[in-house]
Amino acid sequence: MLDLKGYGPALLDGAIVTIELAFLSLALSVALGLVGASAKLSQSRVAKGIATTYTTLIRGVPDLVMMLLFYYGGQVAVNMLSDYIWEAYEIDFFFQFDPFISGVVTIGLIFGAYMTETFRGAFLAVETGQIEAARAYGFTRFHTFRRIMLPQMMRHALPGLGNNWQVLLKTTALVSIIGLTDMVRVAEEAAKAERMPFHFFIPVAFVYLALTAGSELFIKWLDKRANVGVVQGS
C-alpha cells in the first residue's frame, strides 16, 4: 500500500484546494467569457475594442508571468490604494492579497479570454431566425438571451468549453509557485524533506490524471445530453 509518510492528510487538503481553485476560476472565466463574447458581438465599437484588446493581450503573455504580476503587483496596488484612501478620507482600508485570490483572478482572467472566443463562435452558430422569432414574440433582449440564445449556444460551446476546462485544471498547478499550499506544493515539500521525488509527485500526477479523465467522461455525457434531438449526419 502507498505509504505517504504522514503527508496523506496534507495532500488531501491540497487536493481540495486545487479543486476549489479550479471551480472558482471556471466560474469567473465563464462569466467573463459570456461578457466578452457579448461585447465582441455588440454594435458598440468601444465594447468590441476593449474585448479584442483583452483577448489579444491575454493570449500574448504566459500564465505564470501574469500570475506573478497579479500576486506581487496586486499587493503593491492595494497598499497604494489604501494609503490614498487613508490620506483622502481617513478610512482604514486594507486587505491581504493572498495566493488563492491571485490564482483565481489570474486563471479566471486568462481562461475568460479563451472562453470569449469559444462563446463568440457558439453564439454565431445560433440561427438568426431563432432570434428574429423571439423578437417577434415580444421577448426582451434579456429574455432572448436567457431563453433562446443561451440554451442553443451551449450545444456548440461544449466541446470548446471542455477543452478549456482541461487546460485550466492543469494550469492550477502553477499557483503552487506563488506559495499556495495546493497538492503540488505539499508534494514538493514532502519530496524535498524525504528525498523521495517519485514517491510524492507520481501520486499527485495520478490525481490530476483522474480529474482530467473524469472530466472527459462528464463532458461526453453533457455533450450527449445537449445534442438530444439533433440529427447528426454521418
Question: Between residues 70 and 123, which has the closer beta carbon with respect to other proteins?
Answer: 70
Nearer CB in complex with other proteins: 65/133: 65
Q: Smallest distance from the beta carbon of 173 to other proteins, in angstroms?
A: 4
Chain length of the chain = 234
CB of 151 to other proteins, least distance (A): 30
Q: How far is the CB of 232 from other proteins (least distance, A)?
A: 18
Q: How far is the CB of 143 from other proteins (least distance, A)?
A: 37
- Residues near other proteins (CB under 8 A): 57, 59-66, 68-69, 72-73, 76, 170-174, 176-177, 184, 187-188, 191-192, 195-198, 201-202, 204-205, 208-209, 212-213
Q: Toward other proteins, which CB reaches closer, 47 or 173? A: 173
